[in-house]
Amino acid sequence: MRQMQKHSLSLTLLLIGAASLIIVGCAPASAAAPQAAAPTVAANAPAAAAPLPDTISVAEAATKREAGAFVLDVRQPDEWNEYHIPGSTLIPLDQLETRLSEVPQGKEVVVVCRSGNRSQPGRDVLKNAGFTQVTSMSGGLKEWKAAGLPTVAGP
């Protein structure tokens, strides 16, 4: 008799444990035991940030450049050689779609041109390719230079 009670108690405890697992497994995440969140971003990519505004001022672009943003110049080589932002990268707008691999993912990108007209379509090419941290500088390099910000000449 005692053996049967012991077996019945073990079976009851086993059933209670199984029921608890089922209940916890079906409960909302807040009621369940804490679990590690599934990664949503590649391990080597930075945490997702809010998208940048479509257009920023020359002053904002200068601040982003100083903070390490990738400055993408979409003008033509002859314009680039005349003057450009130090540390910027030249990829002419008509080549951008075929050279997307040269633009870093997961880093803020500021697209610039002479007056601001080509930087907007350049920004849109990048956005359509999945870049979220991309913006266009209004006023272009004409305004950048007029503000007395640094430029260099040559290739």
Per cent of the chain over pLDDT 70 is 69
> Given this model, what pLDDT does residue 51 score?
81
Query: Other C-beta atoms within 10 Å of 29: how many?
Result: 9
Which residues are marked as active site?
Answer: 113
CATH number for the region 55-146 comes to 3.40.250.10
- Give yes or no for residue 93 having a pLDDT over 80: yes
pLDDT tens-digit readout, 104-118: 998 999 999 999 899
User: What is the distance between the alpha carbons of residues 123 and 137, in angstroms, rounded to a whole number?
Assistant: 10
User: What is the distance between the alpha carbons of residues 14 and 12, in angstroms, rounded to a whole number?
Assistant: 5
Query: Other C-beta atoms within 10 Å of 133: how many?
Result: 22
Domain segments of the chain as ranges: 1-35, 55-146
> Given this model, what pLDDT does residue 50 score?
78
Residue 75: which region, alpha, beta or left (left: phi > 0; alpha: psi -120 to 50)? beta
- Give yes or no for residue 88 having a pLDDT over 70: yes
- Burial label for 55, CB within 10 Å (0-12, 13-18, 19+), is middle
DSSP state for residue 142 in the 8-state scheme = H
User: What is the distance between the alpha carbons of residues 141 and 25, in angstroms, rounded to a whole number?
Assistant: 58
pLDDT tens-digit readout, 57-80: 999 999 999 999 999 999 999 999
